[in-house]
Amino acid sequence: MKAINKIQPIMTSVVLLSLATAVQADVQSRIENACAEFNDTTNAANHTQWQVVPNAEAQSGGGTSQVTLSEALSNAKPGDYILLAGGNYHQPVSISRSGLTLKGPSSGQPARIAVPYDNKSIPFTVKIAAGVRCTTLENLQLSGGYFYTVSAESGWPSTDPSRSSRNIIIRNNEISYSGRDTIKIKPYVANVLIESNHIHTSGRRDGSNAEGIDIVNGHHISIMQNRITNTATTGVYAKGGASSVVIARNYLANIRGSGILMGFDTSPQFFNLEQNPQMFEIRDSVAEFNILDDVAFAGIGVYAAQQVRVNANTLLNVANRAQSAILFGISYQDNANNAQRPASENIVIENNIVATPRGRFVNIRYDNKAGLSSLNGMPFMLNNAFASEQQARFSDNRPATTKYTGQLQQWLQHIHAEQLPEDDASILLDQSLSDAFELPSTIPVIQISASSAKDFCLQMAGQNGVTLGAVYSINTGSASEPCANAAVNY
């Protein structure tokens, strides 16, 4: 996959703040261009709108027809709309044709597609078959699946784009009660927009490996404005060589694993070694303007990542069980003979608010036995605020950098080689934080002009600069204004 907008630490905050917007626009453009033939209004007569009613018998009259969901799926042609009336549909859905839109009502009784999460013969609630392109799921309630509630299938190990599903929109759905992961994006699936969904309650059958969103070697993925709650393990992760992934303006709460992982740990057979010979877990990606609240392990973790930016997130009550709020982890990749297990490189962490009850803010890991480091060089960290009721702890366990554990100012000197940036406004607060929208006035305002980025509430930065964290309005007196983000409006 061709990378876009590679991140360099020397770039200014203004440029970097626009990266999520650029990646999202790129994903939307890719989907629109690839799916233009199915959205051509001049050929609307060739596209059927199937009116689906639960358990309905096929009947006609008044110029309309009503069919069952099975009949619609069996007979729909590329470009057709399958419009589900409100009610319960107790059957799995397999999408095997390109260009289909499955859509429930926007108000009133929802269309609920529900299957068991403990029936091995029903692995998915909705499966988008390998090779299928231009699929839209919208306004649906989806639940169950022995493995996954929604699964985008792959032709892997083929890297032929036509072999994997792609150009997928998953918007404004409730997706929940999965056997394991709630949404699964398999290797070489590309051009996916996951937007304005409520994703919750993963791992009902097997909670040992049950993410809210699990991406393995997927590319050009935009995860925007979702509410992700009550996951058995990680809220969202992208790994296995994923690239051009944007995770932005999401609200994650009650996460029993880590919040957001940029990279993690993947078996070697899932990497594309032609495009990614060093086996980085994630490349050219960004997590920004997210709010995380109540996370058991790392709020945001970075594993074997190349060119990743963590910007303007608000992390509250993270790492409340173990690990650190921001964690640099090691990918072992099964300890296989062909595993590369690279250290992360070129990581930018700016403008975040980080609150953890245990005081463990940043940890750069090192495995003495295996001689593996989690990071090459130092992270580029600027303008972050840290808060805890316990003593602050920043740790670098790498022997090559002279191990360090201590307080914020000494940490800044450590990572910046005692050449502190003049514009750094990093601060250690002497109080805990509990609400993303009612933070103390001691949060500094960072002067960034001409920013085109929108914050968590889809507000633009004012002329007076932007505050740290996911919400610009905290220090502008407008925090009481309604937040336009769908993630807080479920």
3-state secondary structure 269-298: HHCCCCCCCCCCCEEEEEEECCEEEEECCC
CATH number of residue 232's parent domain: 2.160.20.10
Quick check: 138 and 100 in contact, CB under 8 A?
no
Residues sharing a CB contact under 8 Å with residue 161, sequence separation 6 or more, in sequence order: 188, 190
Q: How confident is the model at residue 391 (pLDDT cuts 50, 70, 90)?
A: confident
Name the E strands within 85-147: 87-89, 93-95, 101-103, 111-114, 124-128, 133-138, 140-143
Q: Which two tokens stand for residue 194?
A: 């996951």
Phi, psi of 303 (to 5 degrees): -130, 120
Phi, psi of 470, rounded to the nearest 5 degrees: -85, -15
Least confident of 24-33, 271-280, 310-319: 24-33
DSSP code at position 299: S
Residue 305 lies in a domain: yes
Q: Which residue has the higher pLDDT, 404 or 184?
A: 184
Rg (CA), the chain: 23
pLDDT of 181 higher than 70: yes
8 within a domain of the structure (yes/no): no
User: Which residues are paired to 169 by β-bridges?
Assistant: 136, 193
Closest CA to 148 of 206, 235, 226, 66: 206
- Asked if omega into 9 is within 30° of 0 (cis), the reply is no
**Structural domain harbouring 322:** 13-488
CB 326 within 8 A of CB 300: yes
Lowest mean pLDDT among 14-23, 395-404, 438-447: 14-23
Q: pLDDT tens digits for 86-119?
A: 999 999 999 999 999 999 999 999 999 999 999 9
pLDDT tens digits, one per residue of 235-282: 999 999 999 999 999 999 999 999 999 999 999 999 999 999 999 999
How many Cα atoms are found within 13 Å in the side-chain-facing hemisphere of 391?
5
pLDDT band at 338 (very low <50, low <70, confident <90, very high): very high
In a domain, 362, yes or no: yes
Backbone CA torsion sign across 402, 403, 405, 411: positive
pLDDT bracket for residue 466 (50, 70, 90): low
Task: Decide: residue 213, CB within 10 A, 0-12 exposed, 13-18 middle, 19+ buried.
Answer: buried
End-to-end Cα, the chain, rounded Å: 35
- What's the rounded mean pLDDT across residues 218-236? 97
In a domain, 1, yes or no: no
Residue 324 tokens read as 């650190």
310 or 46: which carries more pLDDT confidence?
310
2 assigned to some structural domain: no
Element (H, E) at 25: helix 19-34
Q: Please check whether residue 4 lies inside any domain of the structure.
A: no
Confidence of residue 4 (pLDDT cuts 50, 70, 90): very low
Count of domains for the chain: 1
Cα 212 from Cα 214, distance rounded (Å): 7
The answer to whether the predicted template modeling score (pTM) of the entire model surpasses 0.85 is yes
User: Which residues make Cβ contacts (< 8 Å) with residue 2, sequence separation at least 6?
Assistant: none
Is 162 within a domain? yes
Residue 79 pLDDT greater than 60, yes or no: yes
CB distance 404 to 414 below 8 Å: yes
Judge whether 36 lies within some domain: yes
Percent above pLDDT 90 for the chain = 68
Predicted local confidence at residue 39, as pLDDT:
78
Q: Is the pLDDT of residue 40 over 80?
A: no
Q: Is the pLDDT of residue 63 over 50?
A: no
